[in-house]
Amino acid sequence: MNIIDTHAHLDHLDNIEQALKSASENGVEAIVAVGVDLAANKKNLELKFKTQHPKIYVALGIHPGNIKQGEVDDGIQFIRDHIREAKAIGEIGLDFWYKWVKKDQQKKDEQRQVFRRQLKLAKEFNLPVVIHSRGTWRECFETAKEEGIKKAVFHWYSGPLDVLEDIVKNDYFVSATPSIVYSPQSREAIRHAPIENTLIETDSPVYFGTDETDGFKAEPKDVVRTLKAYCALKNMEEEKALEIFNRNAKKFFGLD
């Protein structure tokens, strides 16, 4: 199998070397390592340079949940300084569900500002963006569109179908995680999204599962689970789906 995990937080994994080894043994050919802050972006770049297989590509970004006082300017400057190494800007976006943001208008505006600054960077360098849009699907979509973004993936999409329709109409993407086994919202969204606008990923090391289903802490090798769950959900042949997902990922991120 030659499969690509399009979204993993490699820097967060407990045992990176072991995870990369078993990814390789399970047919993972490439991983897009997605950053959330300055430290993660640095670490993922290091990993990219010292890893032969699977091939590691990086997305550089500041996640809405990782905005640190006094670090934003340096964080964005770091991305700009290493833009030639990046295949995308991400993970960026909005998320107002965090306890410290929920009732704080200033924190929301700060997220909006950091999001826009990074969208402008993506636009300037003609890079795709990886968007975190939990609970803010409509606003994230409108903001990306307003900033003239041509390529965007709404990572782990579980939002409403009307926004999904606009995402697809605009030729943006959504991505599926192993949550499509059990989450009604994820299942519904991914069932409706055309495969031509879908990527598969793991969001490693996120924990997937519920009390009723077997849980596991994801590693990049689990992108195979995402593929299998996708094919079960859409009643598709694995080989056929994989071919399309690989083509999508390569085209979206401009992988060689």
- The footprint of Zn ion (CB under 5 A) covers 91, 203
Query: Is there a contact between 72 and 43 (Cβ–Cβ < 8 Å)?
Result: no
Query: In whole angstroms, how far apart are CA 163 and each of 125, 153, 167, 250?
Result: 26, 13, 6, 25
At its nearest, how many Å lie between Zn ion and the CB of residue 189? 17
At its nearest, how many Å lie between Zn ion and the CB of residue 7? 6
What are the DSSP calls for 58-105, one per residue?
A: EEE---GGG--TTTHHHHHHHHHHTGGGEEEEEEEE----SHHHHT-H
- 146 vs 253 by CB, closer to Zn ion: 253
- 223 vs 234 by CB, closer to Zn ion: 223
At its nearest, how many Å lie between Zn ion and the CB of residue 240? 27
- 16 vs 70 by CB, closer to Zn ion: 16
- Nearest residue to Zn ion, scored by beta-carbon proximity: 203
By CB neighbour count within 10 A (0-12 exposed, 13-18 middle, 19+ buried), where does 9 fall?
Answer: buried
At its nearest, how many Å lie between Zn ion and the CB of residue 251? 21
At its nearest, how many Å lie between Zn ion and the CB of residue 219? 14
- 91 vs 147 by CB, closer to Zn ion: 91
- 37 vs 91 by CB, closer to Zn ion: 91
At its nearest, how many Å lie between Zn ion and the CB of residue 156? 7
- 147 vs 201 by CB, closer to Zn ion: 201
At its nearest, how many Å lie between Zn ion and the CB of residue 172? 17
- 183 vs 236 by CB, closer to Zn ion: 183
